[in-house]
Structure 1
Amino acid sequence: MSKISKLFNGSSSSSASKSKHHRSKGGPSPQEAIHRLRETEEMLTKKQEYLEKRIDQEITTAKKHGTKNKRAALQALKKKKRLEQQLTQIDGTLSTIEFQREALENSHTNTEVLKNMGYAAKAMKQVHQNIDVDKIDDLMQDITEQQDVAQEISEAISRPFGEQFDEDELLAELEELEQQELEDKMKRMGGLPSVPSSKLPSTHPKQQGTTRRRVEEEDDMHMLASWAT
């Protein structure tokens, strides 16, 4: 007995036993149906390989006889045509079975998804059954009030203690102290010398440098005096 025959016979006996079992249960499960379809696909694929080999053999036979033995060559080509027809039929059957299997797999997946979603919905209902929806607003209001209290406490804790002074008054007092310090410094220096109105006589370069420094110092003193008054 060939492997294909064994497969058909095995499938038939298995199908009979499973059909009897399923009749008692009311029908096969999706997993069992998918498994059966996969077995059928595997069987047809093997038959495809067998037919392809037979077709190659008939082509070889036709080439071997050729015009020398037309009758044998034509007979081989006729067999090849019949085998090709069977191969085409199997291709169509495989496409149909594949479509059915994919549809069944998708249906099974969708069923499992819906089942799990329903299970999750029941869990959510179980969680929410002890929650009073009418009290949610009161609860949120209490939370807001407690947050406001916590904010007030934080501000009170961070507020500095002790006497508070006006910063503008302190800055004004600082300016007065600086002005007084400048006036005291000017008094210690003996006041500002008068600036001569006539043109200074020409001097040697060394004397000119000394005179220039003296003039710059006098300018600085004059500027300080204008700030002090």
Structure 2
Amino acid sequence: MSKISQMFKGSSGSSYSSSSSRSKHGHRSRTGPTPQEAIHKLRETEAMLAKKQDYLENKIQQEIMIAKKNGLKNKRAALQALKRKKRLEQQLTQIDGTLSTIEFQREALENANTNTEVLKNLSYAAKAIKGVHQNIDLDKIDSLMQDITEQQEVAQEICDAISHSFGDTFDEDELLAELAELEQEELEESTKKMGRLPSVPSSKVPTSKLPSSRPSYHTSSKKRAEEKDAMKALEAWAI
């Protein structure tokens, strides 16, 4: 067993014995840090290590300058500078690994803290919804919906009653049939007027007063007027 394992085992055993002794005496054990406190500490450690990185990088540049300055003039000083540079680079590599571990742990804590807050809020919302539903009576909901439906039907009946027209009502088919009969009578009357000829007087007229073979201007004008009236009647019926 390594010394580190023995050390952790000894510390855990001592802590267990101390905690058991505190529990025997009735004292409460101290609670651990909150996620916010742990995240804050990790960020402080990251900042400290970042400063250490800057310091080591500057020291490495200085050792390189010393090695270049001595060169072949003082080999021993140059080699010592390079050795120190190697040790500084090893420390820098270790710090890089440590920073990666701390960053991973910090992100895990931040995610765990976020998930805890989300679950807490979800639980809070679920309790609120449950409280709301406890105050709702399903029988009352059914009764309310039935009342709403009845009131909508009453409103529709009122609208129908208001929009109903007053006065005499007639059958539209009968009116159309009567209109067709009137149009047919008008057409027949116009046709009769177009086919009617001027009447010939029955009594004999003295030869001295017989009209000439050419019809008089008055008779022709009357006929043209009748034909014109008949055409107007046909045009009105067609429209």
Which category of TM-score, normalised to the shorter sequence, fits these structures?
A: 0.5 to 0.7
The match for 1:148 is: 153
Q: Distance in 1 between matches of 2:39 and 2:69?
A: 45
Structure 1 unmatched ranges of 5 or more = 1-22, 195-216
Matches within 5 A, 1:125-136: 125-136=130-141
Residue 85 of structure 2 corresponds to which residue in structure 1? 80
What's the offset of the Cα at 1:89?
A: 0.8
**Which structure would you say has the larger Rg?**
2
How far is the alpha carbon of 1:90 from its aligned partner?
0.7
Match of 1:106 in 2: 111
1:104 CA drift (Å): 0.8
- Name the CA distance, whole Å, in 1 between partners of 2:40 and 2:29: 20
The answer to whether the aligner puts 1:191 opposite 2:194 as a matched pair is yes
Shift of 1:51: 0.8
User: 1:83-114: per-residue Cα shift (whole Å, max 9, x none)?
Assistant: 11111111111111111111111111111111
| TM-score, length-scaled by structure 1 | 0.66
Q: Deviations over 1:38-91 (max 9, x none)?
A: 111111111111111111111122122223322111111111111111111111
Structure 2 runs not aligned, ≥5 long: 1-27, 198-226
Q: Give the CA deviation at 1:193.
A: 8.6
Shift of 1:182: 4.1
> What SS is found at the alignment partner of 1:191?
helix
Paired AA for residue 87 in structure 1: L
Counterparts of 1:88-103 in structure 2, within 5 Å, are: 88-103=93-108
- Report the secondary structure of 1:154's partner residue: helix
Greater shift, 53-62 or 125-134, is seen at: 125-134
Q: What is the CA-CA distance between 1:146 and the residue it aligns to?
A: 2.8
Gap change, CA 1:63 and 1:192, over 3 Å in 2: farther
CA distance in 2, matches of 1:77, 1:124: 70
TM-fit CA distance, 1:174 = 2.6
Evaluate the alpha carbon distance shift between residue 25 and residue 170 of structure 1 in structure 2; reply closer, same or farther with a 3 A threshold: farther
Alignment of 1:37-56 (within 5 A): 37-56=42-61
Q: Measure, in 2, the Cα distance between the counterparts of 1:178 and 1:67.
A: 134
Deviations 1:6-25 (A, max 9, x none): xxxxxxxxxxxxxxxxx975
Q: Matched residue of 2:167: which SS? A: coil
Distance in 1 between residues matched to 2:194 and 2:171, nearest whole Å:
36
Aligned residues: 178
Secondary structure of the equivalent of 1:28? coil
Root-mean-square deviation over aligned CA pairs: 3.1
Aligned twin of 1:175: 180
Alignment identity in percent?
Answer: 76
- Structure 2 residue aligned with 1:59: 64
Shift of 1:185: 4.8
CA distance in 1: counterparts of 2:68 and 2:172, whole angstroms: 115
